[in-house]
Amino acid sequence: MLFDIFDPKAAPRPIGIDLGTSNSLVACVRDGRAACLLDCDGAALLPSVVHYGPHGRVVVGGDAARLQGEHPEDTVTSVKRFMGRGADDPETRRLSSLRFATPSTPEEARVVRFCVADRVVSPVEVSAEILRTLAARARDELNGVGGVVITVPAYFDDAQRQATKDAARLAGLEVLRLLNEPTAAALAYGLEKKQSGTFAVYDLGGGTFDVTVLRLDDGVFHVLATGGDSARGGDDFDRALAEARVLPALGVADPGPDVRRLALDLARQAKHALTDHAEVEVALPRDGAPALVVTRAELDGLVRPIIERTGAACRRALRDAELSPTELTGVILVGGATRVPAVRAYVRELFGTEPLCDLDPDQVVALGAAAQAELLAGDGAMDDVLLLDVLPLSLGIETMGGVVDKILPRNTTVPAEARSTFTTYADRQTGFELHVVQGERELAADCRSLARFTLRGIPPMPAGMARLEVTFSVDADGLLHVSARELTTGLVQRVEVKPTYGLDDDAVEQMLLAALDHGEDDLAARRLVEERVEGARVAQATRQALAADAALLLPGEQATIDAAMAALVAAIDGDDAGRIHLACEDLQRATHAFAGRRMDAAIAAAISGRQLGDVERSVEGAKGVEAHLAAERS
């Protein structure tokens, strides 16, 4: 008899988890090498399927997949596609034949929930069951589990990332980091092959697609650009084949959820078989029905439009990295869907090189996660590795007129922090309303809203006197934290941005393409808005000055100012930014002498009856305040 001998005082081992759409894996580093942990049957892959039975019974993995045929409405598959999505999200209804719980309040509508067996569950709870099962496998193998690195698609937004962290916490796991899947794959590949160079990682899984361009150089993994689609993957191949061939062969006029689920299962089996065969026969569950023959050429034709949609993201990532396909050292294939011959052929055609696929595309992400977990645990085995990831989309604040001030541009290396200073627009303004947005367009209305919050309690001051410093901080998991501080009072407001919905099917791609397509129009619109805001500010300040100090006007000066004011108001009502700018300058010239007299009068009133020493001390104090504010702004 053999005994497993271990040190009971040894620290729990860190692990890496690939929480996949179709399958999930857990891995760890032992003896300096990452390896996937196997179940009692010797399998590394755990099907990402959860079945809910009566009386609280939960089944995960292969057994759940086998129960799916008998109890399709109580079995959840591809739950990753629902992470961070709301009940009203159009993609939610398209992706599943499950029964959805009807939300009774707007708060409940923020998260989709499934009606299964005798309960209602959310995607976070379903994912937690998968993570709990993987953690149990690791504990059985390692006799204890420390922190965990969980991989996510690079284009998961804040809501989807936060949902993944919540699922891990619900499963009782300490999350060391959320790691982008393509980066994890490159980490595993770079450590395994000891290569340096510039690589593209083409990651097509069951439900998501990511592409990342990164440079490997002497232990430094620097992501240059990233792109993708958080709702596109191998599951779409199954749907295309099921709808085009399997459902017609089943001969059901109005197929319900059970029949559709059966068609998807048969299509998936055919897809897998066509990886190694030119044609396959699919046995249909009808008495006397002939087998359905499907050829690889048919599958290729059906999935080609889906595959081609990944090309735009790849070309954009290369453009962002300022590289051509010929400058790449290689292209790494990741994800089970890259086993489809049509995918490999398209990648070869797109990049002009034979893709690298000698590491198992199903396991490579989990191996990279394990390597990163070992690094973060600080055990010293991999302390010569540095991993630098990037933001997929720009983050900014809406300013006056609906213009976006981008504080953290996309492809900024994370973790990152940046700040920008704003001021008040109106006199006696006692609060700032902050609108955090994500996207590449110049106007907030064209970007995605992430959060709104208000900083209150600012003492009433003239317009432009208050100073608001807004700080954006993105952690290593890609989650955004925002803080706002009014510099003269020290008031602080902080918020962790948790947007309600995940980006739907085409949101990220459309946001970037729209930014390119409308670039010149957006800049023109931004300039028009900014000139209107500035013109309105100058006009309002002039009206207030005239009302307060009309006695200081010289003969004929009122008529000149009124004419310049009327011209500015007319220009603001128009659509010519240049005309507004010139009219604003004309009004400022017309009021220049009047403004000087107002300043002289204000100074004279301020020093009237005061000693020279008191005035000098006041001036020095004002200089000190201004120096402090300047230092803060720098």
- For the annotated catalytic residues, the residue numbers are 18, 80, 181, 203
Report whether 420 contacts 397 (CB < 8 A): yes
Instruction: Indicate the length of the chain as a whole number.
Output: 634
Query: Residue 415: is the preceding peptide bond cis (ω within 30°)?
Result: yes
Residue type (1 letter), 159: A
Structure tokens at 299: 């599958």
Closest CA to 4 of 136, 133, 139, 145: 139
Cα→Cα distances 112→83, 89, 192, 432, Å: 9, 9, 40, 33
Q: Distance (Å, rounded) from C-alpha 580 to C-alpha 618? A: 39
Q: Distance (Å, rounded) from C-alpha 564 to C-alpha 551? A: 19
> How distant is the alpha carbon of residue 22 from its chain centre?
21
Give the DSSP letter string of 395-443. Answer: EEEE-TTSBEEEEE-TT-EESEEEEEEEE-SSTT--EEEEEEEESSSSB
Q: Which helix (H) or strand (E) holds 543?
A: helix 519-549
User: First-to-last CA distance in the chain?
Assistant: 70
Structure tokens at 601: 């009068």
Q: Distance (Å, rounded) from C-alpha 27 to C-alpha 15? A: 6
Report whether 142 contacts 495 (CB < 8 A): no
Q: Distance (Å, rounded) from C-alpha 150 to C-alpha 168? A: 8
Report whether 225 contacts 317 (CB < 8 A): yes
Q: Which helix (H) or strand (E) holds 229?
A: strand 220-229
Q: Give per-residue burial for 249-280: e unless 16+ CB within 10 Å, then b.
A: bbeeeebeeebbbbbbbbbbebbeebeeeeeb
CA angle 437, 438, 442 (to 5 degrees): 80
Residue with tokens 């500035």: 534
Please count the other Cβ atoms lying within 10 Å of the Cβ belonging to residue 425. Answer: 16
Identify any residues that bridge with 220 across adjacent strands, giving them in sequence order.
Answer: 217, 386
Q: Distance (Å, rounded) from C-alpha 628 to C-alpha 490? A: 13
Q: Distance (Å, rounded) from C-alpha 535 to C-alpha 575? A: 13
Q: Distance (Å, rounded) from C-alpha 512 to C-alpha 514? A: 5
Q: Distance (Å, rounded) from C-alpha 280 to C-alpha 200? A: 33
Cα→Cα distances 103→108, 605, 625, Å: 5, 65, 54
Task: Name every residue whose Cβ is closer than 8 Å to that of residue 451 and which is 6 or more positions away in sequence.
Answer: 435, 436, 482, 495, 497, 498, 499
Structure tokens at 68: 């799916």
